[in-house]
Amino acid sequence: MNEIILQEAGLIKANEEKTADTRSEDDQDGNGGESNNNGLNEHTESVKGKSSDGLSGTVMLDATVSEQQIEYPTDIKLLNEGRRQLERMIERGCQVAELVMPRMYRRIARKQYLNIAKKKNKSKREIRRGIRQQLQYVKRDLKYINWLIESEANFKGALKMKDWRLIQVIQEMYRQQAEMYKNREHKISDRIVSIYQPHVRPIPRGKDRVSTEFGSKQLVMLKDGYTHIEKLSWDNYNEGSLLTESLETYKRLFGCYPERVLGDQLFGTRENRRFMSGKGIRYVGKPLGRPSSNSKEQKRLLQKEMPERNAIEGKFGQGKNAYGLGKIKARLKDTAESWVMSIYFVMNLLKLAAGSLLSVLQIYYWLVTEGYLTTMGNRSYTQFISRYLRH
C-alpha cells in the first residue's frame, strides 16, 4: 500500500510501466543502442531527474524504535507477575476439578515482594535476595502445574488457551532468570521483558532520555518526504550493515541508485563506502583517514548538507508525537507490526494530500490571474472548484 502511495505521488512507476521499461531496455540491447522511451511516466522524478551517470535523488536512512505500551520491566517484577499468574491457574484448576489446592504461601510471597518493591533505594543485596525468593516460588508453582497436568485430566480442561501460552512463556522466563542469577549476569539472548508480550525485546539506544527501549526497530528510507520501511524487526540489529540492501530496494522502487546518501556514522563503514564509490554514489558524511588538502572545502560542504538529515528525524517526531508511533498499544505481534506500518502509511497519505492542496492553490492562483475570481460569486466559485476537482 505504501508503494501505491509512492506511485500516486509520481515517485515510482506502476507495474505495467516497469514492464514496459524492461522491454524497452531489452530492445535497446538488441537494436544496437536505440532508445525507446514508451511507457515512461512523465511525472516520475526518478526518470526525469536522472543524472548523466544514471543516478537520481537523495535518500535518507535512519533507524528508530517504536516502544510497546508495557510496564517497565525489572527482574523481580517479572518473577512476581509470573508467580501471580501461576497461582491463579492453580486456584482455578483446583476449583473446577474439585481438587485440594496445594499450599503456596501466597501472602508471604507477596509481602516479601512488596518489602523490596516499595523501597525507594534498593541495594544490590536486597534485589538479589528478592530475586532468589521469587525464583523459588515460581519453581515450586511450575512443579505444581506440571504435576496437576500429568495426574489430573480435569485440571487440563480448566485451563484456557491463553493460560497454556502463559505457562510456556513463564517457563522460559524462569529459565532465563535462573541462569542470569546463577551466573551473576544481566544479559541473555532473546530476553523476555513481558510475559504478556513475549516477542518484545530490549533494544539498547544509548540516548540521554533512556538508554534502552522496548519495542520494534524500523530502518526507514525517506525520499522527498515519503517514507519506506526497509526492515522491521523485534530483535536489535546494526542498521549500517543493511545499506546495500536499502540501496537495492531504492533501485527497485525508483529505477536507479540515488545520487546522495544521508545517514549517521553507522552507515559510513569502509565496506559501505567501497560499495557506494563503485556505484558512483556520494555519501554525505565525515571522510575516513587523515584530513586531505581540501579538507576545509569538504567541511564547509558537509556542514551545509548534514542539516538536511533533520528531515527524517522530524518524520520520526511527527509519527511519535502526533500518531502514536512512540507507544504502540497493540499486544499481538502481527497487530503491532500492522499498527506501525499503518502509521507510516497515514503519514505518506498526508504528504500526498499536501500535494493535492498545492494543486488547489494553483487553481486559485490561475483564477485570480485570469480574472475569473472577480466576476464569479463565492457560491459559483465553490461550485466551479468542486466540478474541476471531480473532473
Question: Over the Cα atoms of the chain, what is R_g?
Answer: 29
Q: What is the pLDDT of residue 351?
A: 84
In a domain, 112, yes or no: yes
In a domain, 30, yes or no: yes
For the segment 322-350, the average pLDDT, to the nearest whole number, is 91
**Secondary structure of residue 384 in the 3-state scheme:** helix
Residues 133 and 251 in one domain: no
Phi-psi label, residue 98: left if phi above 0, alpha if psi -120 to 50, beta otherwise: left
For the segment 332-343, the average pLDDT, to the nearest whole number, is 93
Q: Which of 120-129, 186-195, 318-327, 362-371 has the lowest mean pLDDT?
A: 362-371
Give the integer Cα–Cα distance in Å for 243 and 265.
Answer: 12
Q: What is the pLDDT of residue 101?
A: 87
Of the spans 99-103, 191-195, 201-205, which averages the highest pLDDT? 191-195
Give the integer Cα–Cα distance in Å for 92 and 155.
Answer: 9
In a domain, 154, yes or no: yes
Q: What is the pLDDT of residues 133-173, one digit of tens each?
A: 999 999 999 999 999 888 887 888 888 899 999 999 999 99
In a domain, 242, yes or no: yes
User: 316 — phi, psi (to 5°)?
Assistant: -65, -40
Q: Which CATH number covers residue 207?
A: 3.30.420.10
Residue 33 has pLDDT above 50, yes or no: no
Q: What is the pLDDT of residue 365?
A: 67
In a domain, 239, yes or no: yes
Q: What is the pLDDT of residue 40?
A: 31
Q: Quick one: 363 exposed, middle or buried, by C-beta within 10 A (0-12, 13-18, 19+)?
A: middle
Residues 166 and 228 in one domain: no
Residue 264 has pLDDT above 80, yes or no: yes
Residues 256 and 276 in one domain: yes
For the segment 2-14, the average pLDDT, to the nearest whole number, is 76
Q: Which long-range contacts (CB under 8 A, 24 or more apart) does 168-174 make?
A: 169/195, 169/198, 170/82, 170/85, 170/86, 170/138, 170/142, 170/195, 171/142, 172/198, 173/78, 173/79, 173/82, 173/198, 174/79, 174/82, 174/135, 174/138, 174/139, 174/142
Q: What is the pLDDT of residue 328?
A: 93
In a domain, 17, yes or no: yes
Q: What is the pLDDT of residue 35?
A: 38
Residues 81 and 221 in one domain: no
Residues 57 and 4 in one domain: no
> Residues 6 or more apart from 304 whose CB is under 8 A from it?
none
Residues 210 and 135 in one domain: no
Q: What is the pLDDT of residue 153?
A: 79
Q: Residue by residue, what is the 3-state secondary structure of 85-152?
A: HHHHHHHHHHHHHCCCCCCCCHHHHHHHHHHHHCCCCCCHHHHHHHHHHHHHHHHHHHHHHHHHHHHC
In a domain, 324, yes or no: yes
Q: What is the pLDDT of residue 39?
A: 34
Q: What is the DSSP letter of 291?
A: -
Give the integer Cα–Cα distance in Å for 197 and 68.
Answer: 9
Give the cell for residue 321: 508525537
Residues 346 and 259 in one domain: yes
> Residues 6 or more apart from 86 whose CB is under 8 A from it?
138, 141, 142, 144, 145, 167, 170
Domains: count for the chain: 4
The identity of residue 150, as a single letter, is E
Q: What is the pLDDT of residue 349?
A: 85
In a domain, 193, yes or no: no
Under the banding of pLDDT at 50, 70 and 90, the label for residue 379 is low
Domain extent, residue 366, equals 355-390
Q: What is the pLDDT of residue 327?
A: 92
183, 214, 235 - which closes a domain: 183
Share the mean pLDDT of the chain.
82
Of 248, 157, 148, 266, nearest to 206 by C-alpha is: 266
Under the banding of pLDDT at 50, 70 and 90, the label for residue 81 is very high
Residues 168 and 308 in one domain: no
Phi-psi label, residue 33: left if phi above 0, alpha if psi -120 to 50, beta otherwise: left
Residues 211 and 272 in one domain: yes
Residues 152 and 296 in one domain: no
Give the integer Cα–Cα distance in Å for 15 and 229.
Answer: 20
Q: What is the pLDDT of residue 45?
A: 41
Residues 19 and 54 in one domain: no
Q: What is the pLDDT of residues 55-80, one digit of tens each?
A: 888 899 999 999 999 999 999 999 99
Residue 121 has pLDDT above 60, yes or no: yes
**145 and 167 in contact (C-beta within 8 Å)?**
yes
pTM for the model stands at: 0.77
Q: Residue by residue, what is the 3-state secondary structure of 26-95?
A: HHHHHCCCCCCCCCCCCCCHHHHCCCCCCCCCEEEEEEEEEEECCCCCCHHHHHHHHHHHHHHHHHHHHH
183, 218, 235 - which closes a domain: 183
Q: What is the pLDDT of residue 335?
A: 93
Of 34, 21, 28, 9, nearest to 251 by C-alpha is: 21
For the segment 243-254, the average pLDDT, to the nearest whole number, is 91
Under the banding of pLDDT at 50, 70 and 90, the label for residue 246 is very high
Q: Regarding predicted confidence, which is higher, 146 or 44?
A: 146
The residues that bridge with 160 in the sheet, in sequence order, are none
CA distances from 297 to 59, 260, 276, 287, 294 (A): 23, 18, 21, 12, 6
Residues 84 and 165 in one domain: yes
Give the integer Cα–Cα distance in Å for 97 and 190.
Answer: 36
Of 82, 88, 260, 255, nearest to 172 by C-alpha is: 82
Of the spans 149-163, 173-187, 276-290, which averages the highest pLDDT? 173-187
Q: What is the pLDDT of residues 344-378, one digit of tens each?
A: 988 988 888 877 766 666 666 666 666 665 555 55
Percent of the chain whose pLDDT exceeds 90: 48
